Each structure stands twice: as structure tokens, then as C-alpha cells.
Amino acid sequence: MIHGTVVLTLMTILIVATCILSPLGKVSAATIRSVEKPALGDLDLRSPTGEQVSLIPYIGRKTVVVVFWAAWCPICKSEVPHLNRLNSKPLVKVIGVNEGESLEKIRNFTVSNRVGYEVVVDPRATVAKAFGVPGMPYCVIIGRSGVIEYRGSGLPENLDSYLDSE
């Protein structure tokens, strides 16, 4: 029951924020569709070992940087050191989402590039669809308030402006 209430509250916050921010150009109509279904708590994120991973525990506590990546993507590889530094900040959680690559490719990429943040797989592309990901690399920044602050190809140039001051 508590889980359902949290999901409903987060959906309400995201929808209201979408309506408020839409004229400012921060959030598009596609975001409204992505918020409606599935909700953050319904997203099927899995660790490479198959364990369920949720974004819910971080909302309200940390800025969540969700990066969609692929092993074949040179930009994704070049972003790893910056994402490692971000993830070391106490008020930031970085989650790397890989869609459709083998566990062997994921493991090889994370080891050879010394990935120091959580990596999850999106087995049914529910997360990519929810955030309207058109291709790799793609970044979604969810502020501590639960509002989507940024959506775009790769990390924003002014990334620090999206992070809550510590």
C-alpha cells in the first residue's frame, strides 16, 4: 500500500511539474506521455545479475542522473570518467542503463572502462520507452524533487547547473 502511494505521489509531482515547466521548454509533451505509464516504480530495471533495481529510493534524496549507453558508443565510453566523479558526490546517484546488449558485452565494457556507478539492464526497453530515448547516448536528470530537469543526447554542457548544491 505504501509503495502504491509513493508511486502515485511521484506521478502527481511529475505531471504537475511537467505542466508548470512545459512553457519554459524544459519538458516536452513526450515527457507527459512517459510519466503517465509506466510510473518510475513500475520500470523493470535489473542488475546484470538479475536483481530488481528501483529509482524510487533516490527520489527526494539525491539528484539522479540516468544515462543510456551502449558498448559500441564512443561518446558513452568518453563520459565514464565524468560519470564516476559525479557518482562520488553524496547528493548524486548515477545509473547507467544498457538496452539489448549481452551480459558479456556489458561486463567487458564496465571492467575495461572502470565504471564506478550502478549499471542496470533494460530487458524489455520499458525505461527507454518511458523516457522517450531516441538513441545512445542519452541522459535524463531527475532533480531531488522528482522533476525531470534535463533530457537530451549525452550529458549537458552545463551539467553542474542541474545538480543540487552540496
Q: Tell me the CATH number at 74.
A: 3.40.30.10
The dihedrals phi and psi of 12, each to the nearest 5 degrees, come to -60, -45
**How many whole angstroms separate alpha carbon 66 and alpha carbon 94?**
6
pTM for the whole structure:
0.74
* Angstrom distances, CA of residue 144 to CA of 31, 148, 154: 17, 9, 20
Q: What is the pLDDT of residue 165?
A: 53
Q: What is the pLDDT of residues 26-63, one digit of tens each?
A: 443 334 334 443 456 667 788 988 898 888 888 889 99
Domain that holds residue 95: 2-162
For the chain, give the mean pLDDT: 78
Structurally, the chain folds into a number of domains equal to 1
Q: Taking 90 as the threshold, does the pLDDT of residue 103 lie above it? A: yes
Q: 67-92: string of b/e by CB count within 10 Å (b at 16+)?
A: bbbbbebeebbebbeebeebbeeeeb
